[in-house]
Amino acid sequence: MQIKEPVKILDVPVHPLTMGEAVSALEESITSGEQAFVVTANAEIIMMCQEDAGYKKIVSQDAQLVLPDGAGAVWAGRHLGYKVPERVAGFDLYCQLLDKAAQKGYKAFFFGGSTGIAEAAKAKSEELYPGVQVVGCRNGYFKEEESQAIIDEINASGADMLFAALGAPKQEKWLVRYREQLKPKILMGIGGSFDVFAGKMERAPKWMQDASLEWLFRLYKQPSRFMRMMALPKFVLKVVFNGKKA
């Protein structure tokens, strides 16, 4: 997989790709048979890396592709003097890959969410992307000793893409821990994307996304996220006072 050199945001590598470039790079992994673990890194994930050395290693060293998910990551890259062309949101990338799967016959496996959510996301995917093959679904409630059975189910499905909606950092830690046993060529954590497809969670209107206000919409819809959202001002201050171009 040939991709641009990453830029460094608070010592976390981020690949400054467009959405089209990211989709092309990941499709190349499927056609070449080379597995790619992708992380969509928003400000919250970059801040998690500052506090969790193990997670930082996963994002910095184990991921083949780390994309700027969120206006904060794009702003930070540009503030530090890098050319970051656009935001590559995890949900949008997930949709683009499903569309590509429908066109090319790639198979996907949905892993995560509460009971019935992955199946609802599958039904919505089949409605939006006629011909898409979602060859397996598994909810995200499991004990560690069940992981091998989950891996066996994923591998037996013949999936080319594995989308794990377990929430960060759990989804990335699980994917990295078992990546050598997993056969899909794209491994990607997608947070609450199944919930959006299932209608359980509403995404911000397009105008709010374009105005970089998606975080405000999430806070309005989920006030319980307030403490998590505190990572955003901390991120801005850290970039302004401690961030520097490598």
- 216: pLDDT strictly greater than 80: no
Contacts of 182 (CB under 8 A, 6+ apart): 35, 151, 154, 155, 162, 175
Give the mean pLDDT of the chain. 91
| pLDDT average, residue stretch 30-44 | 96
pLDDT of residue 107: 98
CA distance 60 to 208: 30
| pLDDT average, residue stretch 208-232 | 59
| pLDDT average, residue stretch 114-121 | 97
With beta carbons less than 8 A apart as the criterion, state whether 56 and 12 touch: yes
Half-sphere exposure of 173 (CA within 13 A, CB side): 14
pLDDT of residue 246: 47
pLDDT of residue 202: 63
Higher-confidence position of 243 and 116: 116
| pLDDT average, residue stretch 104-115 | 98
CA distance 36 to 170: 18
Report how far Cα 94 is from the mean position of its chain's Cα atoms: 8
- The confidence band for 154, taking pLDDT boundaries of 50, 70 and 90, is very high
Q: What percent of the chain has pLDDT over 90?
A: 79
Would the pTM count as exceeding 0.85?
yes
pLDDT of residue 205: 76
- The confidence band for 201, taking pLDDT boundaries of 50, 70 and 90, is low
Which tokens sit at 63?
Answer: 């991921």
For 136, the 3-state DSSP assignment is strand
With beta carbons less than 8 A apart as the criterion, state whether 104 and 75 touch: no
One CATH from 3.40.605.10, 3.30.43.10, 1.10.1670.10, 3.40.50.10660 for 7-197:
3.40.50.10660
CA distance 163 to 72: 24
- The confidence band for 223, taking pLDDT boundaries of 50, 70 and 90, is low
pLDDT of residue 232: 78
Number of neighbouring beta carbons within 10 Å of residue 65: 24
Give the end-to-end CA distance of the chain in Å, rounded to a whole number.
Answer: 24
Distances (CA, A) of 85 to 3, 55, 69, 128: 14, 26, 12, 28
pLDDT of residue 95: 97
pLDDT digits (tens, 9 = 90+) for 51-96: 999 999 999 999 999 999 988 999 999 999 999 999 999 999 999 9
Paired strand residues for 67: 40
Q: Give the domain ranges of the chain.
A: 7-197
- 226: pLDDT strictly greater than 50: no
- In the chain, the largest separation of any two C-alpha atoms, in whole Å, equals 50
Distances (CA, A) of 44 to 26, 40, 91, 133: 24, 11, 16, 32
| pLDDT average, residue stretch 157-164 | 98
